[in-house]
Structure 1
């Protein structure tokens, strides 16, 4: 069993039982207890669990649950569709791109022309939408399925993303703050999106106006990590001024 697969199984065990023991995991996976301790240490750093004497418990940090996709897809519809229309202009034939599991990315998937294109995604909804387009190659990361968001997260999703390098990534998040950067409400989503940013030549952050100035639970990245910020309405003057002074590498696209 690969290390990433074992990590995935440990995450599944702790999400199911809420608590795991080193000795039990050692026997289950036929590896030494020291190996399991190293696994738990790494998973703790990734936010999945908190180590305890002889094992670990599910990370109970208070963070906002993923809003169900069915709810997100009917929230701020006009703004998200506008963001999708703007973003599509930057998708060219023969591109290799990443679409995250956001509802905005799903709206993009609906209107992407059926042309030679490779799309990597961790979204069931995006993959299903693109499956109707014969000329588009779809690669789904796999991993742990979060049913509320219809998205894959976890070590296997991150491991899958490490195998690719794409030309463009289109990513949304829960908030953009001048000091704290881009943030997510769910730490597992943040970790996957961090890897998406790392594996792309150009990155586009898609944010409707309700997310500007918002600080969510988990830091995703600094503002300068992204190349382009696509917004549906002009940003407040004070924010534009600070972006120009402190984050000159971030290009704002409105229309």
Structure 2
């Protein structure tokens, strides 16, 4: 029973968590079921971890004077027991470097995959995307942008952009004019995303609220003065 638990613990930290790390960077977890995350994370993690273990053995094992099997055994020992039981200093450094670089390798694979422009995916996240830059700018100013999305069939949706994702799948949480809220996926069915200039209207509304607040305060002060004056007149008389 103890050996089964140790095997599961090793699988989770050496393969499954790197796969989850890849999925988080590549797709995000929104609208993903637990089974999708569990199974796909395990498959991707085992595949990428095996590739990196093979590459790491070819590139760095000779520098630490260890073999690929010793690195894997050391990683399992590190996870299930402690670093002191891995072996000598070179063996420990080789195992620690393998564990850290494995996560970095999975993250790098997801980053490269995200930045490869795919056919039919015009909204794939790129740092040079004007839409991303503008939405980020408005978010920093704490302004809610008004967005119009036009589809291939000619349909258009206009509403407030409440949230948006910078990872695949690209989606926008839109509050339409009829107050309905829905996630809109920016896929090949979308041909245009228009950022409407409604910022001035929002600023006018904010200024109007400030003006009403000061008017309310001024009214309170004026009423207080008017109540004090009759009392002073009564004392004098």
Normalised-by-shorter TM-score class: under 0.3
Structure with the greater alpha carbon radius of gyration: 2
Q: What TM-score results when the alignment is normalised by the length of structure 1? A: 0.20
Larger proportion of helix: 2
Q: What TM-score results when the alignment is normalised by the length of structure 2? A: 0.21
